[in-house]
Structure 1
Amino acid sequence: MTLRVVVADDQELVRAGFSMILAAQPDIEVVAEAGDGAEAVAAVHQHQPDVVLLDIRMPGMDGIAAARAVCAESGCRAIMLTTFDLDEYVFQALQAGASGFLLKDVRRDDLVHAVRVVAAGEALLSPSVTRKLIARFTARPGQPSPARLAALTARERETLRMMAKGLSNAEIAAVMVVSEHTVKTHVSNVLSKLGLRDRIQALIAAYETGLVVPGVD
């Protein structure tokens, strides 16, 4: 299957560079480029890509506003790209619905990997971004919200707890002493019951509800 991608960046050389890297892959097609957020949203509506790469800082409609529109109105998944490793951008992008967040100095192999991972329905964050996200909750821990988690079984709550701590399906399976298939079922149930799109939203929900408390194992 060929993955369809839209690349949006207000700097033409940067945009062309990302497009060239992705288009060189046999399973990726760059269907459009955009110079700002409004153009990116229009391109997503026109071409129905699997993934859109969005620079956060663009004139007019910025990448965060574009991600919010794209993620709400289509099945396209967004990866944010920026030269600015700033806390507020990280959290705003994730709240807008982005499934990935990478710095522009990302290696070409990691960029290609990110597109494939996000297109497959997973979420992807660089280690530095993950640390910043956890740091935000360390500073402002959430409060328990039993009502929001009431639909989850005990096993599903434990799965959510381990997802938020960054464990892979294989690692969760080892801790629970069950098969990876069973873990995948638990993960799917967690996302479905809580109305979440991916592991990033699950991580946020776990901290916001107080299911996971920073600094407490």
Structure 2
Amino acid sequence: MVVVPGALAGPSDAGRGSAPPRALLIDRQPLFLAALGSLLASPPLNADVLVTTKSNEALEIAGTRDVDLVLCDVRAEPVAAAELPAMLAGRLPGLRVILLADQEDEPLLLNALQCGAAGFFTKDTPVAEFLEGVAAVVSGHFTVGRGLLRQVLAMMSGDAEVPPKTELKRLTTAELGILRMVGRAESVKKIAQQRGISQKTVRNHLASIYRKLAVRNRTEAMLWAARMGLAQPET
């Protein structure tokens, strides 16, 4: 799993303090809703769970209840899942949205990467990783399931327009090495450990990479690396 610290952090007074989060779940399948609700209501999250099978009903609930987190199937109807983050933000500033998808719906998650959601996971994500990701989102971070990210990057590297190679010449040797690791979904901590530098130095390199490549965040840098063929595992 990749966590981008504070990428979508909202107002400091968002949420309900130290109380367990209130989560609103949206999915077309009642059985999945029941299983997911039970998981989130149990430790370590102990969430107060609300459920609905319709995305328009979720908007109504968000208008009348204090909700901290929305977990929504990417095929939610009748309001498209990719439209929900912006619509919900107008009702509850600071509310976080996580989009979920079956494996065959990964392209829909790719198309929704810039919709304003704070987390993206496929439904086959390991439970421990998923719960860690949900907790990170509740804390104000941006998360992408590791398995999903690898497949999305592979798809992007084959289908997307390739950026000009002249862009690579702007990067130093160290920055290029770090970009390769970012493309493989390595965490800041792991990059620092493998390169023998501090996490602060890694973040400084990332800031320089973003500026030189004209990308806004780590997710866009990952996609850029994939399109350039830099995300391949080392042999």
**Which is worse superposed, 36-45 or 64-73?**
64-73
Q: CA RMSD in A?
A: 3.9
Cα–Cα, structure 1 residues 106 and 134, in superposed 2: closer, same or farther, change >3 Å? closer
2:153 matches 1:119: no
Specify which of 24, 29, 32 is matched with residue 14 of structure 1. 32
CA contact (8 A) 1:49 1:76 kept: yes
CA contact (8 A) 2:225 2:231 kept: no
Q: Summarize the alignment of residues 4-153 of structure 1 with structure 2, pairs less than 5 Å apart.
A: 4-30=22-48, 32-44=50-62, 46-47=64-65, 49-67=67-85, 69-70=87-88, 74-120=93-139, 121-127=141-147, 129-141=148-160, 142-144=162-164
Provide Cα deviations, 1:86-135, integer angstroms capped at 9, x if missing partner.
Answer: 342231232324443333354544432231133341412141x2232122
How much has 1:67 moved relative to structure 2? 4.1
**Distance in 2, Cα, partners of 1:168 & 1:71:** 28
Gaps of 5+ in 1: none
**Distance in 2, Cα, partners of 1:154 & 1:48:** 49
**Distance in 2, Cα, partners of 1:214 & 1:95:** 21
TM norm structure 1: 0.71
How much has 1:54 moved relative to structure 2? 0.5
CA contact (8 A) 1:137 1:214 kept: no
Provide Cα deviations, 1:17-57, integer angstroms capped at 9, x if missing partner.
Answer: 21121112254423532322223344445556443210122
Letter in 1 for 2:163: Q
**Distance in 2, Cα, partners of 1:162 & 1:53:** 29
Secondary structure in 2 matching 1:131 = helix
How much has 1:191 moved relative to structure 2? 7.0
Q: Using the aligned pairs only, state the percent identity.
A: 24
Gaps of 5+ in 2: 1-17
TM norm structure 2: 0.66
**Distance in 2, Cα, partners of 1:46 & 1:158:** 49
RCO comparison, higher one (Cα < 8 Å, 6+): 2
